[in-house]
A and B are shown apart, each in its own frame.
Chain A
Amino acid sequence: MSGGAKLPVRVAEVVEVNELIKRFRFVSRDGSDLPAFSGGAHVVVEMDDHGTRRLNPYSLMSDPEDRSAYEISVRRDDQGRGGSLFLHRHVKPGMEFVLSHPMNLFPLDNRARKHLMIAGGIGITPFLAQIAQLSHFSGKFELHYSARSKPLGAYMDRLSSAHPGKVHCYFDNQSQQINLKTLLATQPIGTHLYVCGPKGMINWVLSTAESMGWPKLALHHEEFLAPGTGKPFEVQLAVSGKTITVGTAQSLLEAMEAAGVDAPYLCRGGACGQCETNVHKCDGTILHRDHWLTPEEHAEGCKIMPCVSRFEGKTLVIER
């Protein structure tokens, strides 16, 4: 089945971390240990939002050694498609959910001499699990974490007191910014860099590092894209022989699933490559929104990532 085997879980705890972020703790329904994961992994949470099926990826933030529960932190996005609003408004302890198995698209490279982590806002979550993991074997790390303001800097106090000297905090409302060039120029050889946060921050960090001679393979980033909204469009599915309409707040992947087509996926955020689909005919423009396909592949238009990308134009026929 697409997305792999599922984990039936129950919500054990919901904690308000700050005015924008809530933390959810999931335990298995039969009380058994959950599958092991590694820092940086995420799960896809399946939600039934009053009849609308939502599947959103969230990074696991709990200690990977603790298999009694999985924890995620969710930032409320009032402008989003509704997944985070549903979790914030309607999810209470005791409710049952289905999760995907953990999947890691943002693992630590344990050959590194040192791990340099740069987080922006809710992008802190994968680092919480990675730092817990590194702490078990005294792995060397340094975290630079920016938030809009002190009250919105989730887990900053906990991290700073647990890892004195290793956690550096920055606040936008005090016009503090990471001194990136100096930071990148002073890292020992063999350091790997990890960045998770808003798109602008990721691009800034990666392009600065590359221009300073950091090799691509020492640069790791994670960015889940929400599928985003757009104009409705029609798609012909060549293999299933169906024609479907993708709604404004729906992704192409979700529209296929709603039509009973079992399409492959893992991350549902344009990152993993699992949903890659061949385009048979395209009379119009594919609105590529993934960061899996290369810029050349985007220009060619022979492939589409249905979890995030859309279409505008006359006809789109895909192999599914």
Chain B
Amino acid sequence: MKTSLTPVDAPSIRSRPVYAVLESRPASLHLIVADGEGADAVVEMLDKANDRSGMLAAAHVMYTPGPDGADHGAALEAIGAAQFFRAPTIPSLLPRLQRVLLDAHMGTQFYLAGTEGLIGQAEREIMNTGFPHVAIQKEHRGSTVRRVQCVHCKGITENVATDPFKCSHCGLNLFVRDHYSRRIAAFQGVNIDAEDPGKVPESVVRFK
């Protein structure tokens, strides 16, 4: 049998994640994880859902404000999902997700919405159970800042806005690639002045 994936615009590089609009699908549990303006994507999906009340009755929503402070949590809480959990940050949201995954059954639908940092880290937790990652729905909303791993020291810098930037661990000047690792849930940052130390192009704000 041929498997066909959701058609999307060709990415710049094969590993560059691509996103689509969330849509409600049949499930015994709707696990929704969002940050920042991702809340709006969830609200819009529910407005279009055929069985809004049925979906809400089987929905578990986890939310945290975006890296830029965008907080649409009140609107998301107001939709009235069976369970709503608010975390102050992504690292404090993930343990809750891990706990819920321990008891989750096949027939669960996953909806991730918001920044790439949130989407990537939640996707990694779900994928680690063996669930096919392409079956996880992902809609990008809000800030485009990136979570970047330094390919040299392996340290991860959150919320990178400029390119190049200084690695927050080893201090090397890193060029932010579109090359993405699903396993690490981060883009790859590569030293830009390895041949000519000190010759670093001017840093520009590429991600907001």
Contacts and interface: CB of A to CB of B under 8 A. Distances in A.
Contact of B2 (A113, A114, A186, A273): A273
A214 B106 CA distance: 6
A190 B103 CA distance: 11
A113 B130 contact: yes
B131 interface: yes
Interface stretch (A67-75, A77-85, A216-224, A312-320): A216-224
Contacts of B26: 211-213
A162 interface: no
B159 interface: no
* Contact-residue bracket for chain A: 20 to 34
B100 to A, nearest CB: 9
B12 interface: no
Q: Name the prevailing secondary structure of the A interface residues.
A: loop
A192 interface: yes
Contact of B106 (A109, A189, A271): A189
A215 interface: yes
A190 B129 contact: yes
Interface residues of B, number: 22
Contacts of B135: 215-218
A133 interface: no
A297 B109 CA distance: 30
Contact of A185 (B25, B28, B129, B134): B28
B132 A217 contact: yes
A294 B2 contact: yes
A217 B134 contact: yes
Interface in B129-183: 129-132, 134-135
Interface of B: 1-4, 25-28, 101, 104-109, 126, 129-132, 134-135
Given A188-B104, A190-B129, 8 more contacts: A188-B129, A189-B126, A189-B129, A189-B130, A216-B135, A217-B3, A218-B135, A294-B2
27 contacts: A109-B130, A184-B107, A185-B107, A188-B105, A189-B130, A190-B129, A190-B130, A191-B106, A211-B26, A212-B26, A212-B28, A212-B106, A212-B107, A213-B25, A213-B26, A213-B28, A213-B107, A215-B131, A215-B135, A216-B135, A217-B132, A217-B135, A218-B106, A221-B1, A271-B1, A292-B1, A294-B4
